């Protein structure tokens, strides 16, 4: 039973560039959430996708956008990268409507902005 | 979403029982309490979840008093490999079933950094 997988594991970009991160949810899950985790901090919710639509969004600017595909996998896009975007980006999957069931996390993509 | 407060750090020796208490004074009626464990450069891992009284699984116990304003994660006989950050979260639970609500967005605090030594 495959868990949540994310790619790439590490990425280095420069300010102003754009980046795309990818996530495949755990088998059987249909909802994907993205989180940003700065060094020494807890993960912060970015947004959540279900049925290829953004359902909830945290306090992140429009530079952060996403997409969900018919197979439930998801992408996180960040435009006009800033130094402050350096973080571990985590993807979590769950089953829509069963919000008291735990979310399953991938091991993240470490994004470094130079 | 209810805010949680937990100690920033704790130290323990291998083989001891560790209890991490989390305060959530504004917990709502439908909120569940969930604990995650996170190792460096890895995603959070689900440990245990409960609503009231006591829940036990193969790795931990969760104690929740009647007023539910706090909860205590208990790790029996910790080992070096239990060194990690532990997060306590509370979240709304609209209910089961595809037509009754959304999937939760989790609100993490800064967590408790547990250091286990020999």
What does the pLDDT look like over A70-94, one tens digit per residue? Answer: 999 999 999 999 999 999 999 999 8
Work out the number of other CB atoms within 10 angstroms of the CB of residue A67: 14
Smallest CA-to-CA distance from B43 within A66, A71, A33 is with A33
Give yes or no for residue B45 having a pLDDT over 80. Answer: yes
| 3-class secondary-structure state, position B22 | strand
Report residue A100 CA to chain centroid gap: 20
Average pLDDT over residues A59-69: 96
Q: Is the dihedral of CA A25, A28, B107, B89 positive or negative?
A: negative
B9-96+104-117: CATH superfamily? Immunoglobulins (2.60.40.10)
Question: Of A97, A107, A108, which is closest to B100 when you measure between CB atoms?
Answer: A97
Domain boundaries, chain B: 9-96+104-117
Residue B92's pLDDT is what?
60
Task: Say whether B44 and A90 touch across the interface (CB within 8 A).
Answer: yes
Give yes or no for residue B98 having a pLDDT over 50. Answer: no
A95: contact with B, CB 8 A cutoff? yes
DSSP annotation of A13: E
Task: Say whether A97 and B44 touch across the interface (CB within 8 A).
Answer: no
Smallest CA-to-CA distance from A98 within B116, B11, B93 is with B93
Residues of B with a Cβ under 8 Å from any A Cβ are 32, 34, 36, 41-46, 49, 87, 91-111
Residue B101's pLDDT is what?
44
- Among A53-67, A94-108, B15-29, the minimum mean pLDDT is found in A94-108
Average pLDDT over residues A12-40: 95
Rounded Cα distance between B115 and B80, Å, is 8
Q: What is the largest CA-CA distance in chain B?
A: 51
Task: Say whether A100 and B32 touch across the interface (CB within 8 A).
Answer: yes
Per-residue pLDDT band for B105 (boundaries 50, 70, 90) equals low
Domains of chain A are 5-113 (2.60.40.10)
Residue B93's pLDDT is what?
44
Rounded Cα distance between A2 and A45, Å, is 23
Per-residue pLDDT band for B104 (boundaries 50, 70, 90) equals low
Residue B97's pLDDT is what?
40
């Amino acid at each position: 039973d495959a868990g949540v997988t994310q790619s790439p594991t590490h990425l280095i970009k420069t300010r102003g560039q754009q980046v795309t991160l990818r996530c495949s949810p755990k088998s059987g899950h249909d909802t994907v959430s993205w989180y940003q985790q700065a060094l020494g901090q807890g993960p912060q919710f970015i947004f959540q996708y279900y049925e290829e639509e953004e359902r909830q969004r945290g306090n992140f600017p429009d530079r952060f956008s996403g997409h969900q595909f018919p197979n439930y996998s998801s992408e996180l896009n960040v435009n006009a990268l800033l130094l402050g975007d350096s973080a571990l980006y985590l993807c979590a999957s769950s089953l829509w409507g069963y919000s008291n069931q735990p979310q399953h996390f991938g091991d993240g993509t470490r994004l470094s902005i130079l | 979403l209810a805010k949680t407060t937990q100690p920033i750090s704790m130290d323990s020796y291998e083989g001891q029982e560790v209890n991490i208490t989390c305060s959530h004074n504004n917990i709502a009626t439908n909120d569940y309490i969930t604990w995650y464990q996170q190792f460096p450069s890895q995603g959070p891992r689900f440990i245990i979840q409960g609503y009231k009284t006591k829940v036990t699984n193969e790795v931990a116990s969760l104690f929740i008093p009647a007023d539910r304003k706090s909860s205590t994660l208990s790790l029996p006989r910790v080992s070096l490999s239990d060194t990690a950050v532990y997060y306590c979260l509370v979240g709304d639970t609209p209910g089961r079933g595809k037509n009754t609500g959304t999937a939760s967005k989790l609100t993490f605090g800064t967590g408790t950094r547990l250091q286990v030594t020999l």
